[in-house]
């Protein structure tokens, strides 16, 4: 892997995004660690640097067109033209539908769907010019339906359709697009879900371990390994797919 290739990972200050950024850096990519809070991204950047990699922290709201354009311009100037994009930024605003506000619906749609669209549109010309590109969109098993997450589920299902269309439109330029749908992954976000449900996080993990065929919950690194494959040169014939990283059959 040439060290001149650049990857962008959104929502990379912590959790799955941080693990993905670290893995891509170890694979030889220069990595732009994008998050709403640039300061929060510094820890990921410092860890990459400590392991001999090259990275930069970039603050941006992925749902803001001007901020996205500015962020990608900065990545080009500081690291080089991006040829890998991992659309991982996400938020939850969980509630049963009859209690859900329009604001909570719009916020989730904006970050997941509008954010992925704006980021992808901003980098696709770089990939087409390079005749190589890898787009990985973070969906979820929630795309199949999940009580209390009608907004999140709809957004994550939408990302799957977005991914398949990108694969059709960009394939002839050497660009692949795939989605990863994680199941129960041990992160701050799943801890927040446990809190919303009024459960102790340890109890939620124990319940997950019983329900998941492989007998454990996932770790952010499980998702990062899958991103690493999809971003690789060798994955050029895999496109438009949704890979469930969930410890057993889904979808």
Q: Which pLDDT score, from 0 to 100, does residue 251 have? A: 66
Positions marked catalytic:
152
Angle at the Cα of 151 from the Cα atoms of 168 and 186, rounded to 5 degrees: 90
In sequence order, what are the beta bridge partners of 95? 149
Q: Which pLDDT score, from 0 to 100, does residue 64 have? A: 98
Q: Which pLDDT score, from 0 to 100, does residue 148 have? A: 93
pTM of the full predicted structure? 0.96
Residue written as tokens 């640097």? 49
**For the chain, which ranges sit under pLDDT 50?**
1-2
Q: Which pLDDT score, from 0 to 100, does residue 198 have? A: 85
All structural domains of the chain? 6-183+218-245 (3.40.50.720), 186-217 (no CATH)
- pLDDT tens per residue, range 167-197: 999 999 999 999 999 999 999 888 888 887 7
Residue written as tokens 């693990």? 19
Residue 125 backbone zone (phi > 0: left; psi -120 to 50: alpha; other: beta): alpha
Could you write out the DSSP letters of every residue in the chain? --TT-EEEEES-SSHHHHHHHHHHHHTT-EEEEEESSHHHHHHHHHHHHHTT--EEEEE--TT-HHHHHHHHHHHHHHT--EEEEEE-------B-GGG--HHHHHHHHIIIIIHHHHHHHHHHHHHHHHT-EEEEEE--GGGG--TTBHHHHHHHHHHHHHHHHHHHHHGGGTEEEEEEEE-SB-SHHHHHHHHHTT--HHHHHHHHHHHSTTSS-B-HHHHHHHHHHHHSGGGTT--S-EEEESSS---
């Amino acid at each position: 892997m040439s060290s001149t290739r650049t990857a962008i990972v959104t929502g990379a200050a912590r959790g799955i995004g941080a693990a993905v950024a670290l893995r891509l850096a170890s694979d030889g990519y220069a990595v732009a660690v994008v998050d709403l809070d640039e300061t929060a991204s510094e820890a990921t950047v410092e860890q990459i640097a400590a392991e001999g990699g090259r990275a930069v922290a970039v603050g941006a709201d992925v749902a803001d067109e001007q901020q996205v354009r500015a962020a990608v311009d900065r990545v080009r100037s500081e690291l080089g033209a991006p040829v890998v994009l991992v659309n991982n930024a996400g938020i939850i605003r969980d509630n049963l539908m009859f209690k859900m506000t329009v604001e909570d619906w719009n916020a989730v749609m904006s970050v997941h769907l509008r954010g992925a669209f704006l980021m992808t549109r901003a980098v696709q010309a770089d990939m087409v010019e390079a005749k190589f590109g890898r787009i990985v969109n973070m969906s979820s098993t929630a795309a199949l339906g999940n009580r209390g997450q009608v907004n999140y589920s709809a957004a994550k299902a939408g990302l799957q359709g977005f991914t398949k269309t990108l694969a059709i439109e960009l394939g002839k330029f050497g660009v692949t697009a795939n989605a990863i749908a994680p199941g129960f992954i041990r992160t701050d976000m799943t801890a927040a879900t446990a809190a919303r449900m009024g459960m102790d996080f340890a109890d939620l993990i124990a319940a997950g371990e019983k329900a998941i065929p492989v007998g454990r919950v996932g770790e952010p690194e499980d998702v990062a390994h899958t991103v690493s494959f999809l971003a690789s040169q060798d994955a050029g014939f895999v496109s438009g797919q949704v890979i469930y990283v969930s410890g057993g059959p889904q979808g």
